[in-house]
Amino acid sequence: MKNSELNRKNVGAAGIASKACAWILSIMLVVTGMAPSFAANKAATKAGRGKVQTAVSNAFPSFYKNTKSSSKISKKNFDKASLKNKAVKSIKNEARNAKTPNEAKGKEDKNGKQNKIKNKRGQTFNLNFSGNVYAEFDGNENLIVSAKNTSGDMNIKKEKWRVMREGLKASKRSIKGASGWKRTKVKNIRFNTNGIYLPEYSEYFFNELQGKIDGCENLNTSKVKRMNNMFEKAPYANPDVSKWDVSNVNNMNGMFYMATSANPDVSKWNVSNATYMIRMFQQATSANPDVSGWEVSNVDNMNWMFYGATSANPDVSKWNVSKATYMNGMFEGATLANPDVSRWDTSEVTDMRNMFNGATSANPDVSKWNVSKVAYMNGMFGGATSANPNVSGWDTSKVTNMSYMFEKSGIKKINLSKWKLNEEVLKDNNTEGMFSGCSKLEYLKTPAGMRTNISVAGDEDFKIVLLRKGESPVVEKESENLKNGYIINNNNNRDVLTHIYRKDKYVGVVFDKNGGNYEGWMNHEIVSKDKNIKDSKGVLPETKPEREGHKFLGWSKSKTATAPDFDENTIVNGDITAYAVWAAPKVSITFYKNGGEGDMQATQVEKGSEYQLPECAFTAPAGKEFDKWEVRVGIAKAVEKIPNDKIIASADVKIKALWKTKPVPKVVVTLDSNGGVLAGGASATVAVDKGSAVKEQLEAAVANKIFTKDGYRLIGFSKSKFATQADYNLDSPVYLGTTLYAVYEETNEVTKLTIKYTEVGMDEDEVIENVPTGKPIGDKLDGHERALAGHRFLGYSKEKNAVKPDFFKKSIVTNNLVLYPVYKETGNVDKAKVAFKLNDGTDGSLKTQEVTKYESLGDKMPTKDKVPARDGYLFTGWAKSKAARYPDFFRGTTVKGDMTVYAVWKSLYDERLGQAVLKVSVKAKGYELTIEPPTANLHTGFEIFRSEKKDFKPSKDNMIATVDRDALKYLDEKADNGKAYYYAVRAIDADGSYNGTKVTYIGKLSDKVLAASLPKDRGVTATVTGKGVVGLEFNKTIAAIKYKVTVTAPYDKKFKTIERFVEADKLMATAEGKVKANITRLPMGKFLTFKLEALEADNTKLVEYGNSFAFMMGAVDKLTAKVNKKSRVLNIKFKAMKGASGYEVKIVINGKVKTIKLKKGKKKLKNFMVGSIKLPKKKGKYTFTIRAFKKIGKLKYYGQAVTKTVK
């Protein structure tokens, strides 16, 4: 009651004060009118008027303050007369104290400069009751806020700030207690003094200010609790708020709303007490605030926070939004924003409407969001053309509105099959337009009961499949173009899911229960063509089919399969049905070891099936080995079987191992003669019982001399082939097959050797005594040659009448050896030919030289300069072997007969030089090569090769340049960039030498790089393919990164040139081996020219194609086609097009293209074109195409074609 009474008193006082206010204003007018009488001259009058007016203006707050401070005075003391008198007295006092300039000057001369607040040109306002903080308006749009004494009262009072604004003719807003600066004289505000405190409630403080705000960094904001709408609609303000203390602020709504120049540094702000951030940066188009370190855990409402902030791309990845409930339009229209929100806790959010709407750069990862409390998602990703969110795991059971959720977004593959839709969504059809205008959409899986719209631009065909629990999938549309829109689940069936997929990229897998008694809920899956379910992020049916008495094994491509052959890893290249595979009743196969050891796994087979008995895997008892199986089927009598026998498993099978006594195994010892000869009738192998010794057999072998060797005798055996002692232990037991080597000792036997010279007519033979047997004769063969008249001595032979020697110094001497001399008649001089093969990978050779046998070539030997150079090799001489590494045939080498010698080459390849890496790019003139040198850095330069063949070998014929080590770029200007070449490069060391010869060593040849050629045919075909769409078909420039299309209208001077860029990887292949680019959003009814250019990454022009033309006409409208069943006449009609010069209608009949003649319709059809043609009697499908054309000069330009098929 006391408070109520006090309030009533205050209200009464306020009423009286308001009346006093009216009186005061009247008096101000009077005083103002009297002001000229105070002045001594015109200038002084003007100055004096300003001061008096200011004084009178200041009288009101002074009076108001006094009145306010006396608020406890009873109402009866505030009679009107006394209040009026007090007001007049207060005004007179203020007016009296307002001096003219001359008066002020006189007082100043007398008392010194005392007035430090008043501004001669404008007005001065106290901003607190002490007057320590004040504002000066200079009369020229500038307001300057200062403090007299920094140790005094530094606080700005909100009411004083408001009164000042009103005194400067502020416009009042509809919001209570707020007024804007837009209609004031003030445009710019500056804070001069450091440490001035803003009021606790600073909302709308600078709103609608039309100029700059300087000195914000001098303000102390530590007491501020509200900053909402602080800089709202201040288009030129860009305040320095980087050091502001906002730790006590709880309301930041609209703080920078429409402050289009502001880009505040808020990176160090402590916003931990803020709960409201609605529209905080909305339409602050220059702002890109660093909010990455903000503590937003107490913020409840973030609606429209970055709405339309087109420069902002805030880092919000570490934000704690666990208390936020509103995110409506948070990033809407923020076209550069692509926030990382993957770790956000959205469990309390209820409103996500338009959250990313129009955020064209955003592709948020929201896959782990908890949206279980969200009620509104309408328009959430609408127009977010880069967004392809994974929302498959969302709990949307409380969402009541999803309309236009993905409209015109960048979704490509979306699976909503596990969503549970709220009854309110289903009841009110709040899913309208969810997938309209989704130009990138490739497949869609809807949740049960969803009815919505879908439209996909383009000519791609989609397959539409309906799924219903307990039923097989139903194909609703085998091939449907969605560019004109389609209603999904138009019948509004609550239990129907819909699968939609592009037929050129995806296929469908139907899962058939194949005799089962339960149909899986998800019995259809979408798979990428030529991929498997797993790689396509799909799954096999989670609910398995059931069949009484059978076990589900998996899936198969065959309806009659007994084993699965289809799973998540199976490659699918077309629509397919996978059938359930069932297992029939089973019987058990059990194995018994019967005294043995180990285990054999029991198994199950289909009852009545054939079973093949396995090999025994048990370990036999000691001294035993496996013999056979004892098999018992059910209760039948046991029978004996061996492994691989087959039985019929008509009942459970018991299989028992049967064992037999194991025979002692044998091991084989092989005796190696080790250079000797096996005696006739002897055996070189000995078979003994495993574990026994071979002493008796080895002693018998030595005694019987089973091996003989000239000059040696057998003394025993060893395990080593090179042993000199018979060190094998004869008593050692043998467990494994082994080889023993014969060991011999020399007998030191000698023999005589006879050379039968008497056989060639000489008197006696030559005898050489004491020649060791079993060894090479060596030098003992020297000095025993005899001359024979007319003959040349060739050597010795062991055969009589031989023509060639066969016994030499290295030949082995046998007992009583007899040799025969070999001679050659010298009557006819024999010649020998020496062929010289270049041995360079070709069949090349030099001239064959002829010389007398047993003489050398001498000067006939080819010199080095006669040998053709070989790339990468140095010629070092000739050799008798093709594989020789060093020369062994020289000028003085004796030639004994016809022979071939081969060039010896030294490879100049040095692996230490390493391998360079080559890159080639096409230029407007030739090709440019970029060389990445080897890391070894030992090279002096590079050799560059070019060929039109991929398998070329480096040679002087295809080497185009040698460059210095630092020349890492080379422009091959002589190359025709219309041709495809292969380039290679190798590092070289030009300072090398070999045996004193200067050589150039080479590194490993780089990989051969194909240079992409520019197209020779640069023609472009322009075809109108849709409303505002033209398809350009041309030969692709392989090296191009992108293409520039410049569109002009030669007959329209007001037409503004259009430029479009198409990325090379966005081109579509056509059947003719060319590519196609679609240019969209073109004006209809215009004759347009298209200039196409192929560009590099830096926009350098590679190719300029020929110009192409198109007249922008759409498809004919209201087309109908009907066939008269009796007469077999096809009648067509369509609405005549405005601006068309004519029409062309073609139809294919019996493989021939025919023209349907047209004419204008009459009467009711006067606005139509009509035509007809007789079809064959044989029924079939006939396809016709119709298109309008515009004739310009002698040329026809065709509009969009329409194709229709009739039966």
Q: What's the pLDDT tens digit per position in 228-276?
A: 999 999 999 999 999 999 999 999 999 999 999 999 999 999 999 999 9
Whether residue 545 contacts residue 612, with contact meaning beta carbons closer than 8 Å, is answered with no
Element (DSSP H or E) covering residue 50: helix 42-69
Residue 14 reports pLDDT greater than 80: no
Residue 936 reports pLDDT greater than 80: yes
Predicted pLDDT of residue 37: 33
DSSP line for 737-754: -EEEEEEEEE---EEEEE
Residue 569 reports pLDDT greater than 90: yes
In single-letter form, the type of residue at position 1125 comes to: K
Quote the Cα angle for 189-195-199, to 5°: 70
SS3 624: strand
Cα separation, 1019 vs 1045, whole angstroms: 14
The mean pLDDT of 415-425, rounded to a whole number, is 93
Residue 583 reports pLDDT greater than 90: no
Predicted pLDDT of residue 1193: 84
The mean pLDDT of 701-723, rounded to a whole number, is 88
Residue 926 reports pLDDT greater than 80: yes
Question: In the chain, what's the furthest Cα-to-Cα distance?
Answer: 183
Residue 294 reports pLDDT greater than 80: yes
Predicted pLDDT of residue 120: 38
Predicted pLDDT of residue 156: 97
Predicted pLDDT of residue 1038: 77
The pLDDT tens digits of the residues spanning 741-772 come to 999 988 778 889 999 999 988 889 999 998 88
The mean pLDDT of 175-200, rounded to a whole number, is 85
Residue 620 reports pLDDT greater than 80: yes
Residue 299 reports pLDDT greater than 50: yes
Label residue 346 by pLDDT band (50, 70, 90).
very high
Predicted pLDDT of residue 179: 59
Question: Which is higher by pLDDT, 26 or 234?
Answer: 234
**Sequence-distant (≥ 6) Cβ neighbours of residue 4 within 8 angstroms:** none
Question: Which is higher by pLDDT, 184 or 42?
Answer: 184
Tokens of 935: 């890391």
Lowest mean pLDDT among 453-462, 491-500, 681-690: 681-690
User: Which three-class secondary structure string do you get for 1083-1113?
Assistant: CCCCEEEEEEEEECCCCCEEEECCCEEEECC
Whether residue 1074 contacts residue 985, with contact meaning beta carbons closer than 8 Å, is answered with no
The pLDDT tens digits of the residues spanning 832-843 come to 999 999 998 788
Whether residue 1032 contacts residue 1079, with contact meaning beta carbons closer than 8 Å, is answered with yes
Predicted pLDDT of residue 102: 42
Predicted pLDDT of residue 143: 95
Length of the chain: 1207
Cα separation, 812 vs 710, whole angstroms: 9
Tell me the C-alpha to C-alpha distance, in Å, between residue 832 and each of 843, 851, 855, 898.
Answer: 22, 5, 9, 5
Lowest mean pLDDT among 73-82, 473-482, 940-949, 999-1008: 73-82
Average model confidence (pLDDT) across the chain: 86
Label residue 327 by pLDDT band (50, 70, 90).
very high
Tokens of 114: 């005392």
For residue 317, the tally of other CB atoms under 10 A from its CB is: 12
Cα separation, 765 vs 800, whole angstroms: 14
Buried b (16+ CB within 10 A) or exposed e, 919-931: ebebbeebbbbeb
Percent of the chain's residues with pLDDT above 90: 56
Please, which residues bridge with residue 142 across strands?
Answer: 188
Predicted pLDDT of residue 373: 97
In single-letter form, the type of residue at position 1068 comes to: M
Predicted pLDDT of residue 170: 52
Predicted pLDDT of residue 668: 92
The pLDDT tens digits of the residues spanning 1058-1103 come to 999 999 989 988 867 789 999 999 999 899 999 999 898 888 888 8
Label residue 94 by pLDDT band (50, 70, 90).
very low
The mean pLDDT of 970-992, rounded to a whole number, is 88
Tokens of 680: 């006739």
Label residue 105 by pLDDT band (50, 70, 90).
very low
Predicted pLDDT of residue 167: 87
Phi first, then psi: give them for residue 920, nearest 5 degrees: -125, 135
For residue 660, the tally of other CB atoms under 10 A from its CB is: 11
Whether residue 205 contacts residue 160, with contact meaning beta carbons closer than 8 Å, is answered with no
Whether residue 386 contacts residue 409, with contact meaning beta carbons closer than 8 Å, is answered with no
Residue 118 reports pLDDT greater than 60: no
SS3 34: helix
Whether residue 118 contacts residue 146, with contact meaning beta carbons closer than 8 Å, is answered with no
Buried b (16+ CB within 10 A) or exposed e, 507-526: bbbbbbbbebeebbbbbbbb
| Residue located via tokens 């030969």 | 1035
Phi first, then psi: give them for residue 865, nearest 5 degrees: -70, -10
Cα separation, 611 vs 202, whole angstroms: 92
Predicted pLDDT of residue 338: 97
Whether residue 533 contacts residue 511, with contact meaning beta carbons closer than 8 Å, is answered with no
Lowest mean pLDDT among 50-64, 273-287, 360-374, 469-483: 50-64
In terms of DSSP bridges, do strands 1101-1104 and 1087-1095 run parallel, antiparallel, or are they unpaired? antiparallel
SS3 760: helix
Predicted pLDDT of residue 22: 40
Buried b (16+ CB within 10 A) or exposed e, 566-582: beeebebeebebbbbbb
Predicted pLDDT of residue 829: 66
**Sequence-distant (≥ 6) Cβ neighbours of residue 1019 within 8 angstroms:** 1034, 1105, 1106, 1108
Predicted pLDDT of residue 551: 85
Label residue 977 by pLDDT band (50, 70, 90).
confident
Phi first, then psi: give them for residue 378, nearest 5 degrees: -60, 135
Whether residue 446 contacts residue 476, with contact meaning beta carbons closer than 8 Å, is answered with no
